[in-house]
Amino acid sequence: MFSGCNALHYNGYDNAKYLGNENNPYLILMEATDSSITTCIISEQTKFIANSALNCYNLKSITIPNSVKMIDSFAFFSMENITYQGTQKEWNAISKADYWNPVLNYTVHCTDGDIVKGDS
């Protein structure tokens, strides 16, 4: 998205870097702070997860807030278990690009107790 832009100022939260504005510094999750991270809790202000944002081999645990509206292609490298802080209905309403998560046998654990399997 911003390839070649060297003057960007990222905002940090947990193990990730974000771009935003004065109203929301965590609008877009852009990338991991380090490709060796094992966990990431996404900011509750995040609306968009960018292409290849958390493409980390060692990432085992991710928490996605219900503020997220769009997940771009290859956002995650190989997430098998995702914690979503919303309902299954809210999860299904998120716009997800093709191949947002290359793993087809993933499980999303929603806070309402529902579980989403596969590429729903």
Asked if residue 79 belongs to a domain, the reply is yes
pLDDT tens digit string along 42-83?
999 999 999 999 988 888 889 999 999 999 999 987 788 899
Looking at the chain, list the stretches that DSSP marks H as alpha helix, in order from N- to C-terminal side.
88-93
Asked if residue 27 belongs to a domain, the reply is yes
Please state the domain count of the chain: 1
* pLDDT value of position 6: 57
* pLDDT value of position 24: 93
Asked if residue 67 belongs to a domain, the reply is yes
Q: Which domain holds residue 42?
A: 11-117
